[in-house]
Amino acid sequence: MIREIIKDQFLLCRKSSDATVDDLYIIDDLKDTMNAYQESCVGMAANMINELKRIIAVKENDDILVLINPVIIKTAGHYYETEEGCLCHEGTQKTKRYEKIKVQYHDDKFKMKIKTFSGLTAQIIQHEIDHCNGILI
Ligand SMILES: [Zn+2]
């Protein structure tokens, strides 16, 4: 089901809590909502659709990758300055991101995984993890 995108800064600044297997139903709504905004959206965190759980969805090629309870366990490469936009507010903002990140997470079947991401995918994951922590760029 396509859900409404939360734009209220007060609501978006709340921290999300860890997701459990009981929260997997959120994934479909997150994907549906992301697909509805596919022209302007490369990633989405569950709190953007008013679910305060640490679940993020990230566009990778033509697929949507779901990461549950993602934790960055290692960073590498440049720590560079970039500009990012967000569905939750107008315009773009300057921020700093790591070029490479190693992430531990559960996949959409709640299987534990560890994977290294780089480039744009790494950047999107860092943006969405910020959302889980109530941080808006
Ligand atoms: Zn955002």
β-strands 63-86, 55-60: how paired? antiparallel
User: How do the pLDDT tens digits run along the chain, 137 residues long?
Assistant: 999 999 999 999 999 999 999 999 999 999 999 999 988 899 999 999 999 999 999 999 889 999 999 999 999 999 999 999 999 888 899 999 999 999 999 999 999 999 999 999 999 999 999 999 999 98
Q: How far is CA 80 from CA 52, 83, 95, 123, in A?
A: 29, 10, 8, 10
Q: Output the furthest CA–CA distance in the chain (Å, rounded).
A: 38
Cβ count near 85 (within 10 Å): 15
Query: Residue 113: which CATH number?
Result: 3.90.45.10
Domain for residue 56, yes or no? yes
Domain for residue 65, yes or no? yes
Ion ligand 1 neighbours, Cβ < 5 Å: 86
Q: Catalytic residue, from 39, 81, 90, 128: name it.
A: 128
Domain for residue 89, yes or no? yes
**Does the annotation count 128 as an active-site position?**
yes
C-alpha 84 to ligand 1 mean position (Å):
8
Domain for residue 4, yes or no? no
For the chain, what is the domain count? Answer: 1
Distance in angstroms (rounded) separating the CA atoms of residues 70 and 9: 23
Distance in angstroms (rounded) separating the CA atoms of residues 70 and 50: 18
C-alpha 81 to ligand 1 mean position (Å):
16
DSSP-derived letter for residue 15 is P
C-alpha 66 to ligand 1 mean position (Å):
16
Domain span at 77: 9-132
pTM: 0.96
